[in-house]
Amino acid sequence: MDPQQYSPQFLLDTLLGSTPDAVYFKDRESRFIRVNQAWMRIVGATSPDEVLGRTDADFFEAPEAEEFRADEQHILETGEALLNKVEYEHWKDGRIRWVLTSKWPLHNNAGEVIGTFGISRDITERVLAEESLRHTKQQLQLALTAADVGLWDWEVPTNRVYYSPEFKAQLGYGPDTHWDTYDHWRNLLHPDDLAAALQILRDYFDGKLPEYESTFRLRHRDGSYRWILSKGKLYHDDDGQPVRMIGVHVDVTDYRTITEALRAGEQRLRKIIDTVPHMISIRDRRGHFVLANQAVATALGVTLEELTATGNDRPAVHFPLQDTHRTVIETGTGRHDEEEQFTDASGRQRILSSIKVPFDDPSVRGLCVLTVSVDVTDRIRDQLELAQLAVRLSEANREWQLKNKELEQFVYTVSHDLKAPLVTCRGFVGLLREDLAEGKLDDVEDSLRRIQSATQRMQLLIEDLLQFSRIGRICSDPEQIDMVALLKDLEADLTMHLQQSGARLEIAPDTPDCHADRRRMIEVFENLIVNAIDYGCPDPGGVVHVGGETAPQGEIRYFVRDDGPGIASEYQEKIFGLFNRLQTDRQGTGVGLAIVAKIAQIHGGRAWVESRPGEGATFWFSLPDGQQPTDNCDVDEHDDGRATPASHSQ
């Protein structure tokens, strides 16, 4: 045997390298001077240099590091070892461990204490297991106490039985009551339950029942009887002989009372839901009716017994689940279908307002859907009629307000514009009298001429007002109009006017046709074209462009474009008002563009202008594509059917 092979250093190195426990040596300042591989693995070091010279404060939280140093200082001062101390280690990297630690003083050859060494064993799993077991026992005791569950433990060969304090308390006895045999339980059984309770116990012992469960009555201390549910398990020895049976007792008196009350309540509820006119049902994911009231059965044309039949007679095939029912079951989320179509057994189409919610019925595996449906067919019809009436009333009110506003404007403008010629006439009549009295015949002629001009203007105003008032009251039946042909006819009618102004008219060949009142369309374009000639072609050689397009919004748009001085933006809406004129030095009453806007309105369209000063003006007129005038029109027996352009606006 080679002594070198078994040197103390070799044996120490082998021990330190093999033990799973952490072994470490420290100097008097608690600095690590040697550690084994287990300690290095714990701290995650790959070489001793990463540990040596450092202290616990480099690895643990401050409170633990200070406690470890205090223990080591005590060892250095007293020379006493620290044995089997359970320590809680909280590492700086977040790890938590429980260790069993022993530490001793480290002596040199002279017997002087030069440091400490120790061994720490990780007992985290053992501590956690012991804590879990203690916690489980505590929870079990709390649960038994809170649930009022009695425990019994029966040694079958000796008939000795342990009855827990909760068991005794269920029957009104204190924990010191001396019960320790099987007969104490037997003697408390109700006479009517004795035979059945003992027979169930015998059958369980004989293996005829897979588990022991029995319900019986035991006599309470006050002389009453309590219903008890008993469950237990029998244990056998190696020879198959029964040796021990452990079980629990639960007082179910209140439960049985509640069950009987629930059964009575269920019967009352059954009567109530069958008298409710709304449809109430519970269905499982296969479509089977777990519950339904009479209203459901009546609506489906079957009896209530047929609807809720079990087994192969269930009618799920005839009344499959709707997708909305399946969605509620699959997602566990309720929904409200306010208007659900339903065909009853007689074939009538009905509208239901249905609330569907997930329902967990203990008699069915998986979620069900509870549905309450109210027939709202009559209510929906009434609401629809009311809504339609409200729309008609709103439209009538809006139309009345519009016409009332027009009437106010009409009365104001008429009174204002007609007053001016009258004032003129009155003034010159006074002058005429004075001139006649003085014999000033030249001045008489001038006054008569001015009176005649004022009366002619009054006549124009009256004629334009008459024409404006007829719009929306007098019209022809709508017809399909070839708009290019209409514009060419109008061009021929305006030949003299075009020649006098030196202007010309260009009609786009692709101008779309429309379905409208032909006479009103002539009025619109004659007013717009004459307006463009008079105000948009100040110099000879001017061109008036007329055309149209079909807009994506479902309307047809027509335009009349000139190259005149244009219209500022602040006047572009005002010029469509009655008697509004931008140029008062020219002949006109300011009714023409108001007529255009009015005709557009009664056809369900609109009129507007696009212009910039110095860049001409484009007047637009739109009609709904294929639509007819919106107002009811009556034909005036005095109207000759011809369109007459009004005096113009600008």
What SS3 state is found at 494? coil
Check residues 127 and 30 and name the one with the higher pLDDT: 30
Which among 609, 580, 576, 608 is positioned nearest to 595, based on CA atoms?
A: 576
| pLDDT range class, residue 343, cuts 50, 70, 90 | confident
| No. of helices (H) and no. of strands (E), the chain | 17, 22
Q: Is there a contact between 565 and 538 (Cβ–Cβ < 8 Å)?
A: yes
| pLDDT range class, residue 608, cuts 50, 70, 90 | very high
Retrieve residue 412's tokens.
């104001």
The confidence score (pLDDT) of residue 637 equals: 41
Helices (H), 208-341: 253-275, 294-300, 304-307, 323-331
Return mean pLDDT, the chain: 83
* CATH superfamily of the domain spanning 277-368: PAS domain (3.30.450.20)
| Amino acid letter for position 503 | A
| pLDDT range class, residue 486, cuts 50, 70, 90 | very high
Question: In angstroms, how far is CA 302 from the centroid of its own chain?
Answer: 38
| pLDDT range class, residue 430, cuts 50, 70, 90 | confident
Axis crossing angle, helix 518-536 with helix 483-493, rounded to the nearest 10: 50
Condensed to tens digits (0 to 9), the pLDDT of residues 276-295 reads: 888 999 998 888 888 889 88
| pLDDT range class, residue 643, cuts 50, 70, 90 | very low
Retrieve residue 285's tokens.
């994911």
Provide the b/e sequence for 574-600 (b: ≥16 CB within 10 Å).
ebbbbbbbeeeeeebbbbbbbbbbbbb
| pLDDT range class, residue 213, cuts 50, 70, 90 | very high
Over the Cα atoms of the chain, what is R_g? 54
Average pLDDT over residues 568-575: 81
The confidence score (pLDDT) of residue 467 equals: 55
pLDDT > 80? residue 217: yes
| pLDDT range class, residue 459, cuts 50, 70, 90 | low
For residue 109, give the DSSP letter. T
Which CATH number is 3-128's, of 3.90.480.20, 3.40.718.10, 3.30.450.20, 1.20.1300.10?
A: 3.30.450.20
Average pLDDT over residues 617-646: 59
Residues in the chain: 650
d(CA 70, CA 60) in angstroms, rounded, equals 14
**Residue 124: exposed, middle, or buried by beta-carbon count in 10 A (0-12, 13-18, 19+)?**
middle
Check residues 396 and 529 and name the one with the higher pLDDT: 529
Check residues 381 and 1 and name the one with the higher pLDDT: 381
The confidence score (pLDDT) of residue 399 equals: 73
Retrieve residue 305's tokens.
């017994």
The confidence score (pLDDT) of residue 410 equals: 59
Q: What angle do CA 551, 555, 559 make, to 5 degrees?
A: 70
pLDDT > 50? residue 629: no
Which among 357, 352, 346 is positioned nearest to 373, based on CA atoms?
A: 352
Which CATH number is 147-257's, of 1.20.120.10, 3.30.450.20, 3.40.50.2000, 2.40.50.140?
A: 3.30.450.20
Domain with CATH 3.30.565.10 in the chain: 473-624
* CATH superfamily of the domain spanning 473-624: Histidine kinase-like ATPase, C-terminal domain (3.30.565.10)
Check residues 26 and 275 and name the one with the higher pLDDT: 26
d(CA 121, CA 123) in angstroms, rounded, equals 6
The confidence score (pLDDT) of residue 385 equals: 87
What pairs with residue 292 in β-bridges? 281
Which among 603, 606, 611, 575 is positioned nearest to 591, based on CA atoms?
A: 575
| pLDDT range class, residue 632, cuts 50, 70, 90 | very low
Check residues 465 and 334 and name the one with the higher pLDDT: 334
Condensed to tens digits (0 to 9), the pLDDT of residues 588-602 reads: 556 778 888 888 888
Retrieve residue 555's tokens.
């309307």
Average pLDDT over residues 556-581: 82
Q: Is there a contact between 597 and 607 (Cβ–Cβ < 8 Å)?
A: yes
Average pLDDT over residues 542-556: 88
Q: What angle do CA 550, 556, 559 make, to 5 degrees?
A: 95
The confidence score (pLDDT) of residue 631 equals: 47
Q: Does domain 381-462 have CATH number 1.10.287?
A: yes
Which among 8, 16, 10, 18 is positioned nearest to 36, based on CA atoms?
A: 16
What pairs with residue 245 in β-bridges? 154, 234
| pLDDT range class, residue 636, cuts 50, 70, 90 | very low
| pLDDT range class, residue 55, cuts 50, 70, 90 | very high
Q: Is there a contact between 150 and 166 (Cβ–Cβ < 8 Å)?
A: yes
Domain with CATH 3.30.450.20 in the chain: 3-128, 147-257, 277-368
Q: How far apart are the first and last CA of the chain?
A: 134
Condensed to tens digits (0 to 9), the pLDDT of residues 352-362 reads: 999 999 998 88
Average pLDDT over residues 186-211: 95
Retrieve residue 52's tokens.
């040596």
The confidence score (pLDDT) of residue 184 equals: 92
Most confident of the following: 65-74, 381-390, 577-586:
65-74
| pLDDT range class, residue 634, cuts 50, 70, 90 | very low
Does pTM top 0.85 for this prediction?
Answer: no
